[in-house]
Amino acid sequence: MPQYLYHGSSLNIDELKESLLAEISDCRRRHLDRIIDPSVGVSIFDQETIRAARRYVAGDPSVMPNGMSPTDYLQGLGTEVGMHASQFAEQVIFDSESAWQHAYDAEKGFLACKFAIQTSMDGNALMDMVHEYTESCEEY
C-alpha cells in the first residue's frame, strides 16, 4: 500500500483521508468564524437592518415594523459609527452580500473537497486539492 508524506508523517491512504478531512473541517470552521467576526471588517447585520438599508437605497420611505422610517433607523445606527444614513446603508448592503458570498464559497469548496476525499484514491491529487482549499480560506 502506498505511503504519503503529509505534514512530516508517512500515512497510508486511509490515514491520509482522515487527516485531510480534519484539515478541511478545521479550515472551514476558522473561515466561517472570521466571516462573522466584526474585527475583520465584515459584519453580519440583523434582517431588520438589512431591510432598512435596502428600502433606503430603493427610495422606499414606508414605515418599518419598528415604527421608524428607513432613513431614521439607519441614521440612528450610523451615528454610532460616524456615518450618515446613506453611508451606513451602503456599508450594511456591502458587508451582508460579501459575508454571504464568502460563506457560500467556503461551503462549496468544503463540500467539493469532502466528496473528493471520500471517493478518490489518488492521495497526491487530494493533497493538492486540500492545499488549494486551505489557501483560498486563508486569503479572506
State how far Cα 69 lies from the chain centre: 30
Per-residue pLDDT averaged across 7-29, rounded?
90
pLDDT of residue 88: 87
Query: Around 68, how many Cα atoms within 13 Å sit in the side-chain half-sphere?
Result: 15
Summarised one tens digit per residue, pLDDT across range 61-71 is: 888 888 999 99
> If DSSP states are collapsed to H, E and C, what string results for 34-59?
HHCCHHHCCCCCCHHHHHHHHHHHHC
pTM of the model: 0.64
Q: How confident is the model at residue 46 (pLDDT cuts 50, 70, 90)?
A: confident
